Amino acid sequence: MRKFLWSFFEIVETVTIAIIAVFLVRTFVAQPFLVSGSSMEPTFDNGNYLLVDELVYRFREPQRGEVMVFKYPGDHRSYYIKRVIGLPGERLVIDRGTVTVFRNGEEKILQEPYLGSVKTTEYVEMELGSGQYFVMGDNRNFSFDSRIWGPINHSDIMGLVRLRLWPINEAQAFSAPVY
């Protein structure tokens, strides 16, 4: 009987440690995310299963071109996935699909090789404040993003997309493009 109790205690201890470890990792380190919708095509498709790094933005600021998951500004119960286009303190002008960034008197037109065919006629101009980011989907014609609801705040960012886990034949790691 004593051997049985000792074995039972070891099993309970192992399960408890595993549950605590999973809780800590999912809360503070990484979290899975399921893509819903077509706003990030062709980079991510509806149903892609991603791993989001929740730790990186505690040590550094988001960089232009990174894909992040964040709380939707209109409803913090919903999470969105978009690409960082504008950084704090910048002025952006989007004219017929071309994004121009103005920072410290310099003008830079973004070359965005990850985009599909973009055919927009819109004009958007926005100045970002401290801790604000302008985000857009890669499928610009079908993306509900900062062009419509404005910039997101740093406090709403969940994390950086690091890996696509599913579908397994498309599994890969992601990094920000160089502009």
Q: pLDDT per residue over 42-95, tens digit each? A: 788 888 888 788 888 888 889 998 999 898 887 878 888 899 999 999 999 888
Alpha-carbon gap, residue 155 to 131, rounded angstroms? 8
Structure tokens at 89: 């303190």
Domain ranges of the chain: 2-173
Of 36, 38, 39, 78, which one is the catalytic site residue?
39
Alpha-carbon gap, residue 96 to 70, rounded angstroms? 26
Candidate CATH numbers 3.40.50.620, 2.10.109.10, 1.10.1200.10, 2.170.8.10; the one for domain 2-173:
2.10.109.10
pLDDT of residue 172: 66
| Cis geometry, peptide bond prior to residue 167 (ω within 30 degrees of 0) | yes
Burial class (CB in 10 A: 0-12, 13-18, 19+), 174: middle
Of 3, 36, 78, 82, which one is the catalytic site residue?
82
Distances in Å between the Cα of 98 and the Cα atoms of 8, 39, 40, 50, 107 are 64, 18, 17, 28, 13
pLDDT of residue 116: 64
Residue 34 predicted with pLDDT over 80:
no
> Does residue 71 carry a catalytic annotation?
no
> Does residue 39 carry a catalytic annotation?
yes
pLDDT of residue 25: 57
Which residues, in sequence order, are CB contacts of 85 under 8 Å at separation 6+? 64, 92, 99, 101, 110, 134, 135, 136, 146
Q: pLDDT per residue over 112-133, tens digit each? A: 777 766 667 788 888 998 989 9
Alpha-carbon gap, residue 60 to 82, rounded angstroms? 18
Q: Which residue has the higher pLDDT, 14 or 132?
A: 132
pTM of the predicted model as reported, rounded to 2 decimal places: 0.74
pLDDT of residue 87: 92
